[in-house]
Amino acid sequence: MTGDDREGRQAQLLKGLAELALLSLLDDGPCYGLEILERLRREAGLALAEGTIYPLLYRLERAKLTRSEWKLESEGARPRKYYVLTDPGRAELKAQLADWRAVSTHLTKFLERRRP
Amino acid sequence: MSDPKEAWLRRLRWALAALPDPERDDIVAEIRAHLDEREREGGGIADALTQLGPADEYARGFIEARELTGAAASQQPGAMLSAIVRRAHRSIVALGAFLTVVALAGAAFLAVLTALVKIGDPAHAGLWRGQSQFFIGVIDDPATSQELLGNWIYPLAALAVAAAWLAGRGVLVWAVRTLARTT
């Protein structure tokens, strides 16, 4: 197994998980791109590449699961584009969470079957 | 010498030409804000740009997202099929969906064609049962096989078209949604 194979597999796995983690993060409240990236890396442990988050945010907004708004946090600050979850986004989060729980429960049972 | 950040953003803007201007401007402004923030944190701009990769390649993620979410939202068979065909050479999901749609369309076409031929030549066209196989179409010697449908072939051909349409559309919707989530 080469390093490239491993990175490719991890990247594919991350794409699926990043969407779920992102929806869950936005359920806490509005966030901007860089903040989302840092929090997903730090809190969710996802080793996301630097630019991964923006095409994903763009897709979720196009799918109407999120919406965005440019905001100035304070006088003199630079504007940031904040994302929030929409009602369809919350429904999608609920559905993806249910799927994730079902898959992870079964997979954990399977992987642990030979342990005492 | 030109500013590498500005050169990269210009290249990104150019590569996003397929998107409507407001969306393109918004994406470039957001990436610019990201790079500015990385610079303020003390990271080198060269390092940040390296991590984003070539602007043309980076733009492709947005263009793909727009095309796939647009096709999925419209649910128009033409747009969905076009999105699937363009990815069939590099995606197993797209290839599988394309082959399924072709098989469904082929089966419906065969049923309709046989029904049309049966209007002019009822003795040789239909659904046949031979010694070991079923066969739909035109047969040279009807005495060697048994025709199963008779005039039922007309409503059943119409039903086959409707079923192929619905199943094909369902396959396309599933494939486009799957691709949108994984591309």
For B26-84, the pLDDT digits (tens) are: 999 999 999 999 888 887 888 889 999 999 999 999 999 999 988 988 889 999 999 99
Element containing residue A83 per DSSP (H, E): strand A80-85
| Substitution target from A32, A34, A92, A96 for chain B, most B beta carbons within 10 A | A34
pLDDT tens readout for residues B97-141: 999 999 999 999 999 999 999 888 888 888 888 877 888 888 888
Runs of H (alpha helix) within A29-86:
33-42, 53-62
Inter-chain CB proximity A34 and B37 less than 8 Å: yes
How far, in Å, CA of B183 to CA of B178, rounded?
8
Q: What are phi and psi of B20, to 5 degrees?
A: -60, 145
B19 contacts: CB under 8 Å, gap ≥ 6: B27, B62, B63, B66
What are the structure tokens assigned to A17, written together?
A: 């998980």
C-alpha neighbours within 13 Å on the C-beta side of residue B28: 22
Contact present, B38 and B45 (Cβ < 8 Å): yes
Taking an 8 Å cut-off on Cβ atoms, the answer to whether B34 and A34 are in contact is: yes
> Which chain A residue lies closest to B36 (C-alpha atoms)?
A78
Q: Is the dihedral of CA A102, A107, A110, A111 positive or negative?
A: negative
Query: Model's pTM, two decimal places?
Result: 0.77
Among partner residues A16, A49, A58, which is closest to B27 by beta-carbon distance? A58
Q: Hey, are the CB atoms on A62 and B58 less than 8 Å from each other?
A: no
